[in-house]
Amino acid sequence: MNQERINVASVESSAENIDHDPGKRRPIVEPINDNRFGDDAFVSAGCKNWKKALAIFREHEGSVNSTHDQARILFEGFKNQRQSVEYNLTKFDKEDEVNYRIRLTASLNVTRILLKQGLAFQGNDESLESENRGNFLEILEWLREQKLEVAAVTLENAPSNNQMVSPLVQKELTNCCAVETTKVILEDIKNRNFSLLVDEARDASIKEQMALVLRYVNNDGEIVERFLALVHVTDTTAKSLKEGIDLVFAKHGLSLSRLRGQGYDGASNMRGEYNGLKSLILNENPSVNKWSSIIEVLENVFEDGSNPDNRGISKTLSMRMVLDLLTQEMENHFPKINTELLTCINSLSPKNSFASFNVDKLVHLAELYPADFSSIECISLPYQLKTFINDIVDKVEFSNIEDLGNLAKILVSTSRDKAFPLVYRLIELTLILPVATASVEKVFSSMKLIKTDLRNRMGDEWMNDIMVVYIERGIFKKIENETILRRFQDMKTRRKQLSSSVS
């Protein structure tokens, strides 16, 4: 119901009548709003005098700081999200995310340095009063001195529950580094065939550790050996070693069906167990050639630890005797399939302009790999071999090649690996056969550097992650920080979110 506005005169008149007649009820008086401008043209009556419309509008608008002007300011503030509560909260969260990124990146950069050098992370006394708080905190302090933006958001300037310097964070960052490094290796192998190099040794805490190295040919035709993992085994029986290998293969999505060669340290006192391991793998995958390294043969000839006199033998025997011993050992040590393999492989040698090239022997070599050459491909192989040798024998780029490794790289660089895929497959299978265990021995040299007597309480997973990055640091240094940070963030639910921008 609309109430009419009561002007001053009517109010006074009514009040006067009421005073004379107390029985009458006092009328409800609507107070006049001093901030109300214009007339009822904007409420009910409408505008009747358009000639004075502009004046009415100005009167309605009022002066600065009028109710109308204040309402306008509030409305514009509402539309401006930068002044809203939501915006201010978002702005605060964004700054917090940026600070979190700086803090986390600083911890990762310190981790990178320590992993690359194989250094310890933690100190004996990491308290504020300590003169040496350990490598991680000391390097972080140095970094803070170099970069003010890092100092502003780390350690005492960071939230107490989100400093990103705890031992757990250090281990999680290291794990991310190791996972991304191994990921690069696995992506490089893809679906290629490979050989497995295995050796075993005790660490500083007298725990049996088994090192696994993969040997394969990469996209450029280069022979590559990559450290895959260090596995703690409860005992050194063939069964335990096989279970350790199966565990690592399953973890990394590797199939034993792609394994084409095995290499073990023949001088090891575990030679019998290694022979048992070879048999277990052969039973599961007959495609694996039971190949032993030339180093193993030489060690068997000259270094029998049970008889020191053999080493005197190695120094005094004439070259003829050495050759006789080596020949005899080769005959005793290698099974028939490996002697055939050696003979056939020699037919691939590029020495002396492929003087030993023999089509029949190379076809037989393919037949030793039934999982890699179908019967139809074996029929096609002779024609491809003849075409191949006719194509390259007189080419200048192939004239001075002395080994299969260089041959493979040139074939890839000239796209002949695509033109002669069956021939290149033979070369690739030959190259991945293990010929030494130096890469595995390098792993244990690194283990002695990383797990010292002072660090003998290091856990197996922690040591494995450090060793993967340390040994394959050439790969690791090419991995971007952002890749590692994203993996770290996705490991589990974090207190803070990683900002999308890269600082």
Average of per-residue pLDDT across 144-157 = 94
What is the spatial distance between Cα 410 and Cα 128, in angstroms, rounded to a whole number?
A: 59
Least confident interval from 41-50, 259-268, 382-391, 392-401: 41-50
Q: What percent of the chain has pLDDT over 70?
A: 73
Residues 6 or more apart whose Cβ sits within 8 Å of residue 297: 266, 326, 329, 330, 333
Do 191 and 486 touch, CB atoms closer than 8 A? no
Q: What percent of the chain has pLDDT over 90?
A: 43
Do 37 and 68 touch, CB atoms closer than 8 A? yes
Least confident interval from 22-36, 88-102, 324-338, 400-414: 22-36
Out of 86-100, 285-299, 369-383, 446-460, give the one with best mean pLDDT: 369-383
Bridge partners (DSSP) of residue 232 are 209
Give the domain ranges of the chain.
Answer: 1-32, 33-79, 85-165, 293-333, 336-432
Which stretches of 190-318 are DSSP H helices?
238-252, 271-284, 294-302, 309-316
pTM, whole model, 2 decimals?
Answer: 0.74
- Residue 272 has φ and ψ, to the nearest 5°, of -65, -40
Give the three-state DSSP class for 190: coil
Residues 6 or more apart whose Cβ sits within 8 Å of residue 480: none
Token representation of residue 257? 């069906």
Give one DSSP letter per residue of 13-68, joined into a string. HHHHHHHH-TTSPPPP-PPP-TT--S-GGGTTS--S-GGGHHHHHHHHH-STT-HH
